[in-house]
Each structure stands twice: as structure tokens, then as C-alpha cells.
Amino acid sequence: MIIIYNNGWVVHIIYCMILYLYLLIFLSFFVFYPFDISAQSVKDGEQNGYVEGELLIKFKEGVSHKEKASFLKKHNLDRLREFKRARIHHIKLPKGVDLKEYLEKLKKDKDVEYVEPNYKRRPMGIIPDDPALSEQWGLTKIGMPSVWNSARGSKDIIVAVIDTGVDYNHPDLAPNMWKNNKDTEGNKVDDDGNGFIDDVYGWNFYSKNNNPMDYKGHGTHVAGIIGAVTNNGLGVAGVNWQVSIMPLKFMEAEGDVASEIDAIEYALDMGAKIINASFGDSTFTRAEYDAIKAAGERGALFIAAAGNSRNDNDGVAKNYPASYTVENKINGVTYPPLTNIISVAATDGNDNIATFSNYGAISVHLGAPGVNILSTIPQGRSDMPGASLTVNGVKYKAYGMEYSGQVPKEGITRQIFYSGYGARMDEFPPEVRGNIALIKRGSEDGSAVTFKDKTINAQNAGAVAAIIYNNQSGYQIVNGTLSEPGEWIPVISISMEDGEKLKSMGNPTATLINYPYNTNSGTSMATPFVSGVAALLWSLKPDAKASEIKEIIMESVDPVDSLTGKTITGGRLNALKAIQKMATQIPVKFVLNRGWNFVSFPGVPEGGIAIEQLFKDISDNVKVVWGFDNRTKEWELFRFNAQNSRFKPLQTIEPEKGYWVYMADSRTLNLNGTSLPYLNLTLYDGWNLVGYGGYNGSDVRTSLSSLSGNWVIVWGWEDGQWYARHSLSDELPINILPLETLKVNKAYWLKMNSPGKSINWVQ
């Protein structure tokens, strides 16, 4: 029988068969075997306020419920909330009383440990000086492209974003949003008995409801840094490809400590390991201190923005909650530092500390990117709109419809054609095809026509985008929704006045933008970089303690001059070093099966490890190890207690190489204390026996894309079966299965058509 294949494949098949047979025959001799909303920044010396008519009271330990109730009745106080773990009561004062006078009166009661106002907290961010910067330089600065080869996060890790809320329907965030699956949406029943009805998407402690939607933009921007969906062909990348972001809204332009504590307790009860606190102000509050302390006792890490007032947090001017990292002496009482907090300063693209950032040699732990950071913003109404309309040089304010299609940041430029109410297809002129439809809200006869209906009609008429303007004067812009995700054209909404003006122009050419992303600056932006990395670390070692995560982050920073003497570590966050350091603490169980194993050891230390050391615990079962010198094309051999051989001796196992290992019986090899791969692998012309050190299950051609046209074919072997992938052709010979993905700890034969190339498996 004669079988004819592609000539290139014939050569490869014959070569590999000869190689494999040669190996087996030879071995037979030895077989005896990875905007900040800116809420405007807090100015120097600016005093924060407190919620009028509200106090936070902590009773002394041992005070009974009956005594507490008696106290409240005696002083005519209404209890709004009780935080049981912290023994704190959020109370409302009688109308017309002076808060400060009442506070002093209550302090004197024998049952009160302390009482204080319900102070306000504000987002820690500032408006960037250069909003045109649109590249995610921060991810590259902290080493994320290399990190993603070994760690991409986990949905099991919950990060609570206690902020202005989050646009949980944002297409670049929705897959990574936390959901309370124990509660049924819309049934108005507290299914899980946690005290919150229909808290499917988290909770709004600001408005006291189950909708933590963001109308400011700050929280959504923070969330995108932590976990905007990556590798989805849309928008921006987050530090984590996979994570569970829990949106807990407690502020808009500002919030208060009682609502913050409520959010903290909810986060802990619902399983959050990390709390991102991109907010703060200048007043120490014992209630906040106690709540964060209690969070630490429950194993949570609290990551806080250092502040944007250019202050030294070591001095008198502090920023809380970040400044609970140092000892505080208030009214003669000393409060020890809270060790579960990481305080974060902001740095720019040149590793300079940001001009607005607070700092502190003993109070701020490290810096992270915080200047001109591109991230997600709400799709619809917010203080950071991602939509706009420009006609004849005039820019009109607009909101993007929720779920509507997006356009590149430069927008699309087309003519506008008035299309009435868009309720019927005959309202759309033929010229609207390929252009922008201008549609009035409502209907001619008063019947209900949804924004979704209008959009469907516009799409069917061939419009590439739609503008829907209000039908009521005095209402600026409709905050609309298309009701559900779909393949929608971009749709924006504008005011009635602006809509009628555009209608009167005829068919002007307009540039429409619906791009729910923007740049923002602040320590608010630096903080989620650290939260994101903490989540990555916990995804690798779910049983790690908060103190362990914190220590690894601090010990793996890049030292930078601008932070020397201004932060505890003197450095800027480095995710790659942190992941590598964590890897040294993760036990790795490596199974070698009976018979031949075609494997690599990407976890062994840089420089390699002596074979006797690597296999010392299973040496009685390792019969022979074959290696291959990719440069000289010589076989290398190792046998325990072997005599001299005519083959080149194999003495060291290297992380980037592949090996054939023959086992007498299956054994488990413990690689505890090794590091993740990050070395470059040098490839030579012809065949190379390599070890794969990338992300497990990565597509073959994607993994080898950096080699461009310099690789020809790759072969893998598993369970007695050969697998292959050619760089160009999908054609496979008989009995050869397609090699779709590359696996960690596996070895591969890779043929190159040019020398001196290198790869580090970074995608």
C-alpha cells in the first residue's frame, strides 16, 4: 500500500518516526524502566462634614440588650441600625437638638464606650490633567502581560467594591460581576435570610435598596481596573481575567461611615476576601476603625487609597481609612495600627509619585499606577459620560443607552436623517441607510413604543446608529435602556431642545460617540491595581491568609526613587514578582506515570536543578531520563547508578526544556517551593525539545504567534498517541491527532526554520 502526503508532512513524519523508534530501540537496552469621578479631590485643609442628626454609639462590653434599649429610650434616640459584631449602633437624634451638645451629653453615660458623629467619606480621585491618554500603561508597568501566562484570576475570589456603585450591566464587566444566586431576582422575598430582599447584584446602602447602579462613574472605573473582562475583543483589560466583583454602593458625591460599615459587614457575610476602599477623608472615627478591625479578624484584606491632598500621612494631616495603618492618639487614647490595611499611593508612567498623591514613610505601603488610567465608566447617565454628539464643531451632551452598541473612541461620522418617532418603518427615509437616524421619544398616538422597538426599526431601516431625543421640554436627557444585551447599533439620547435643533438643520454631518471608557487619575485608581493583584494571588492559593497576601505584595515591589522615604516599601506594585513569589509557597504535585512520560518541569528554579535532587524521593522508580541539546542536536542521558555512556551525560533539569522519563511505577513528585516560569527559551534551527511554561490550555498557534513564520511544526505525545500542528496547514496525516492546545508540564518537539529565536510564552 502506498500513501502519499504533503511533502513537508512526509519529512516531518518520517523524521519523528525514526526519532521515536530510535529512542525506543535504544532505551530497550535499559528497560531492566502563567476619571475618577472624580469627585473633586479633597483640598489641603478642607474639613469634612458629618450627617446631620446622626451619631454612632458603641456600648461597653457586657451591656445587655435591655440596658441598650433603656438608654435609647431615656435619651429619646431612634436606632437606625445595629452592627452586632462591632457593638456599634447607628442612631438618629431628636429633631431640633444640637448634635455636638448631645454628643457630649451621651459620652458621659457609664454604658457608653464612645460616641461620635456619622462622618462623611468621599471618593479619592481627581480629574486628570491629560484626559486624552488612552493606553493602559499601568498594566504593562506592573508586569501583567507576563502574569497572565500563569494567573488569570478566579470567579471564586470576591472583591467588594465599596464605592458609588458599579454599572453591573456594562458589557465589559457583566461576566465578572458577583451575583447572589441564593436570592431570586424580583420575588420581593429574602430567600437567603441575610436581611436583604432581592440583593442579587449587591446592595445600595446609600439609597437603601437593592440596586447598586453607578450614576457617578467612580465605582465603575475602579471595578474595571480590578476585573474588566480580558481577551473578549471589547474595550479594556482588567488585572483579573476572571473575578467576582461585588458592587456595594454607599456614596455618590459623598457617603457616610454608618453606610460604609453596613457595606463592610455585608461584604464579609457574603464571602468577600478583599475590600477595595477608594475613598476617605480627614477625620478619625472609632466606628470605622472598629469595623475594619473586625474585618481583619475575619480574614479580610482592606485596601485603601492614601488620598489626593499631597499630604504626608505620617504627620498631623491624615486620610482615613488609609491612615489606620499607623498608631493614632485621639483624646488621650491610643489606637494601634490595623495590620489588615494596605495603603496605596499613586504613581505616573515614569514611576514618579503623582503630584496629587499623599505619601508616608510609615503609613503608606506602596505605590501603584494612578495617573491617566483608562477603565470602564457607566453606559448611561453618569458624571463621566462616555457618549457625545458633535455637529458643526458644537459638542452636545449625550448618554449612551444601556446595552447599546459601542463605537471606537473616535466615534463614527455620518449624516443625520430625521425619522419621526421611529415607531413604523415608513417613518424612516431611504437615505437613513448607512447613516444616523434621529428619532423622537414617544409615539404619535400616545401608545407605548420602547427604545428597544425604535432601535429594532432603525436597524431594519439600515441605520448605523440612532439618536433618541426627549419629547418633554425641561428634562435634559433620558437615561434609557434597550432592556437586554444584543447585537444593537450604537444608540444615544439627548435633550428635546438639542433634538429639535438638529432636526431644523436638515441633514448635517455628525460625529457620534458611545464609548463607555475614560481615563481618570487618583489614588482611587491606584488602589484597585493592588486589589486586583491581591485577588490574583488568592486565586493561586485560596487558603492563604490576608497577612500572607499583604506580605507578598509588599516584598515584591519594584524599588523606585520617587517612593524612597515616602512609602514603607519604597516601591511600586509589581504583579509579576508577586505571582512568582506566591508560586514558591504553593505545593505542586507532579504525577509521573508508569512507562514513558514526555514531560517538562517549568516549576524548577532558574538555572535548573540537579537530577539527583529533583528525583531523590522517587529515585528507585526513575529508570532513565533522556534530554536533547537543542543547539548541538545531541541526545543527553541520565541513569541512576549508571556506568559511563557514549551519550552526552544529562546532569541538570532546566525549566524551559523537555524530557523523556521512564518510570517503573507511577509516582508523585513534590515540587513544593519552586517558581513559575518566566525565562526566555532560546530556539535553534531544526528540531528543539522544549518544555511548555505558558498558560495551561493555550491555543497552539496563539502561543507560538511571537515566532511569526519561524516555526514549522510542533509535535506532542500523550498516552501513547502522537499529536501535531503545522504552522500553516490544518491537514493531518493518518493516525495523527490535531494538537489544539499546549499544557503545562508537557514537553513538545518544535521545528524551527531559522536560528537564534526566543520565546517566553507571553501572550
If residue 301 lies in a helix (H) or strand (E), which one and from where to where? strand 301-305
* Integer Cα distance of 349 and 236 in angstroms: 18
Q: Cα–Cα distances in Å, from 471 out to 18, 416, 493, 495, 614? A: 79, 18, 11, 8, 75
Instruction: State how far the Cα of 751 lies from the Cα of 187, in Å rounded to an integer.
Output: 61
Q: Is residue 635 within 8 Å of residue 669, measured between CB atoms?
A: no
11 C-beta neighbours (distance < 10 Å), count: 14
> What is the per-residue pLDDT across 302-333, written as a single tens digit (0 to 9) for each?
999 999 999 999 999 999 999 999 999 999 99
How would residue 756 be classed by pLDDT, with cut points 50, 70 and 90? low
Residues 104-125 have a mean pLDDT of: 83
Place of cell 434616640: 77
- Average pLDDT estimate for 266-291: 96
pLDDT-based confidence at residue 679 (cuts at 50, 70, 90): low
d(CA 365, CA 556): 12
Provide the greatest CA pair distance for the chain: 103
Mean pLDDT on 204-210: 95
CATH of the domain spanning 137-376? 3.40.50.200
3-state SS class at 473: coil
Single pTM value for the model:
0.77
Tell me how far apart the alpha carbons of residues 477 and 491 are, in angstroms, rounded to a whole number.
13
On whether the CB atoms of residues 481 and 378 are closer than 8 A, the answer is: no
Q: What is the per-residue pLDDT across 134-169, written as a single tens digit (0 to 9) for each?
A: 468 999 899 887 787 778 899 999 999 999 999 999
State the CATH architecture for 387-515.
3-Layer(bba) Sandwich (3.50)
Tell me, what amino acid is at 615?
F
Section 539-546 average pLDDT? 93
- Mean of the pLDDT values across residues 101-126? 82
Angle 716-719-720 (CA atoms, 0-180°, nearest 5)?
A: 80
Main-chain dihedrals φ then ψ at residue 726, nearest 5 degrees: -90, 150
Coil, helix or strand for 541? coil
In 521-616 the beta strands, taken as DSSP E runs, fall at 558-559, 571-572, 589-592, 595-600, 609-610
Q: Please name the residues in contact with 456: beta carbons below 8 A apart, sequence gap of 6 or more.
A: none
Other CB atoms within 10 Å distance of the CB of residue 547? 13
For 417, residues 6+ apart whose C-beta sits below 8 A from its C-beta are 428, 429, 431, 432, 435, 436, 437, 438, 463, 507
pLDDT in tens, 724-739: 998 888 787 778 899 9
656: pLDDT confidence band, cut at 50, 70 and 90? confident
Q: For position 14, what pLDDT does the model report?
A: 39
What local confidence, expressed as pLDDT, does residue 87 receive?
83
List b or e across 586-615, with b for residues whose CB sees 16 or more CB atoms inside 10 angstroms.
bebebebeebbbbbbbbbbeeebbebeebb
What angle separates helix 523-540 from helix 546-555, to the nearest 10 degrees? 120
Give the mean pLDDT of 573-597: 87
Q: Is the dihedral of CA 554, 567, 152, 659 positive or negative?
A: negative
Cβ atoms within 10 Å of 720's Cβ, excluding its own: 7
pLDDT higher than threshold 50 for residue 282? yes
The mean pLDDT of the chain is: 86
Domain range list for the chain: 7-16+587-759, 50-120, 137-376, 387-515
Per residue in 84-96, pLDDT (tens digit) is 878 889 999 888 8
Q: Could you tell me the pLDDT band of residue 16, with boundaries at 50, 70 and 90?
A: very low
Contact 523, 363 (CB under 8 A): no
* Beta pairing partners, 343: 304
In this prediction, residue 674 has a pLDDT band, given cuts at 50, 70 and 90, of low
- The dihedrals phi and psi of 174, each to the nearest 5 degrees, come to -50, -45
CATH fold of the domain at 50-120: Alpha-Beta Plaits (3.30.70)
What is the structure's pLDDT at 227?
94
Reported as a pLDDT band with limits 50, 70 and 90, residue 475 is low
Q: Band the pLDDT of 41: cuts 50, 70, 90.
A: very low
